[in-house]
Structures are given as structure tokens and as C-alpha cells.
């Protein structure tokens, strides 16, 4: 039978890094979660930081694949229905994060300075994906870039992309509180539908795609 130890280690590390962060997880905990001894973990993956880098690489590859497909659909729809194209792009990313909850959890922990010594991940992984979405939306919507008030642009598209990201990761990680202060997250269909509609509304309004508004993206 093939040795599955390496994949068990990565699966265990992903769960623990997502739940507790790199800084809150020990190699011994990873070994116990994987049902292996510490020497086996060290043999297969080296130290905790090397293991963390591999977990983040795999998370990035999954996110990149999802966005590549979502952006292809976006481009094919945007010319005839920009509103549907943007809503579809938001839906695809939200559905990805719901299906792969470790991805938003891992990145949210980095936003809180987890694994600060592993400093290259934002430039290597996060920034290129943000820029690919910004470029695709800017190219597809072909805005005229009208000026906003007080010297601000009508739309800061980069921050609009970040806003969608923050909202989606926040909902998938923490959900929302119902009137009884119970958290309702992605496992609650009503809460998810409510969040999805709000996400559409925020982003579409910012892009000038609701109620006949027009806005530029840069």
C-alpha cells in the first residue's frame, strides 16, 4: 500500500493552521492530529515553517484555479450583461470560500500578523490575484472614469476588490449575529443568501451597476 503519511500531515496542518494559525500550532500537535510520531513529520516535511509554506502554496493554487475559471466566465458575460458578470464573479468566489473554508481562515490569520516571518506570501500569492481581478473588471467594464467629489475618483476599483474580499472572508470565517446573538454563517442557507444579496448590492452599487448609476473604475 502507498504511504499516505505526507498527505495526512498536510491535511492535519491545514486544519490546525486554519484554526489556530502558524504561531498557535506546534509540530507536535500536527503529528498528533495526523496520527503520526514527530520524527515521521520531520522526515516528510521538515520544520513547521516549511510545512506552513506548503500549506499556503496549496491554498493559493486552489484559489488561483477557482478565480481563473470565474474570470473566464466573467469575461464571456461582461460584454452583454456587466451586472450579471460581476454578480457571477462574486458568487463563484463566495462559493469557493464556502467549499474551502481553510482558505479564508488562513488569510485572515495572516491579516492578524500570523507567521510574520514568512513575509513573501502577500507579494507572491495575494497581490497577483487581486491585480488579476482588478485588471479583468477594469478591462471588461471599460469605464469613462468620471471624477468623484472632493478630488476622489468615482470608484477606486482596487479597494472595491479588496472590499469584496474582506466581506467574503469575514462572513465565511465569522458569519453574522442573529437577533439572539447566535452566529449564522455559511452553514446557514438563510444567512448565506442574505449575505450574498448584500455583497452583490455593495459591489454593484460601487461600480455604478445598480439603479442606472454610472461610475468609472481605475
Looking up residue 69, the CATH number of its domain turns out to be 1.10.357
Per cent of the chain over pLDDT 70 is: 89
Calculate mean pLDDT across residues 19-38. 96
Range of the domain at 2: 1-46
Would you state the pLDDT for residue 165?
Answer: 98
**Entry pTM:** 0.89
Short-list 202, 173, 170, CA closest to 187: 173
**CATH code, domain carrying 25:** 1.10.10.60
97 inside domain: yes
Residues 33 and 74 in one domain: no
Instruction: Looking at the chain, list the stretches that DSSP marks H as alpha helix, in order from N- to C-terminal side.
Output: 5-20, 27-34, 38-45, 48-78, 82-99, 102-111, 121, 127-141, 157-174, 189-206
Residues 118 and 192 in one domain: yes
5 inside domain: yes
pLDDT confidence band for 141 (50 / 70 / 90): confident
Residues 96 and 133 in one domain: yes
Would you state the pLDDT for residue 146?
Answer: 46
Amino acid at each position: 500500500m502507498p504511504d499516505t503519511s505526507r498527505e495526512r500531515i498536510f491535511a492535519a496542518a491545514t486544519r490546525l493552521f486554519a484554526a489556530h494559525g502558524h504561531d498557535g500550532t506546534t509540530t507536535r500537535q500536527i503529528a498528533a492530529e495526523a496520527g503520526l510520531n514527530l520524527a515521521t513529520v520531520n522526515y516528510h516535511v521538515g520544520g513547521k515553517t516549511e510545512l506552513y509554506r506548503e500549506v499556503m502554496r496549496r491554498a493559493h493554487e486552489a484559489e488561483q484555479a477557482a478565480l481563473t475559471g470565474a474570470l473566464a466566465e466573467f469575461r464571456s458575460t461582461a460584454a452583454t450583461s456587466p451586472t450579471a458578470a460581476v454578480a457571477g464573479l462574486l458568487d463563484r468566489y463566495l462559493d469557493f470560500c464556502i467549499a474551502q473554508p481553510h482558505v479564508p481562515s488562513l488569510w485572515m490569520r495572516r491579516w492578524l500578523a500570523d507567521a510574520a516571518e514568512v513575509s513573501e506570501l502577500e507579494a507572491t500569492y495575494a497581490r497577483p490575484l487581486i491585480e488579476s481581478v482588478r485588471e479583468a473588471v477594469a478591462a471588461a467594464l471599460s469605464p469613462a472614469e468620471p471624477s468623484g467629489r472632493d478630488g476622489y475618483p468615482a470608484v477606486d476599483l482596487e479597494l472595491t476588490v479588496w472590499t469584496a474580499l474582506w466581506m467574503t472572508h469575514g462572513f465565511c470565517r465569522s458569519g453574522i449575529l442573529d437577533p439572539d446573538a447566535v452566529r449564522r454563517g455559511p452553514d446557514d442557507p438563510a444567512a448565506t443568501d442574505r449575505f450574498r444579496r448584500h455583497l452583490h448590492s455593495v459591489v454593484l452599487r460601487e461600480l455604478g451597476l445598480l439603479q442606472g448609476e454610472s461610475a468609472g473604475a481605475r
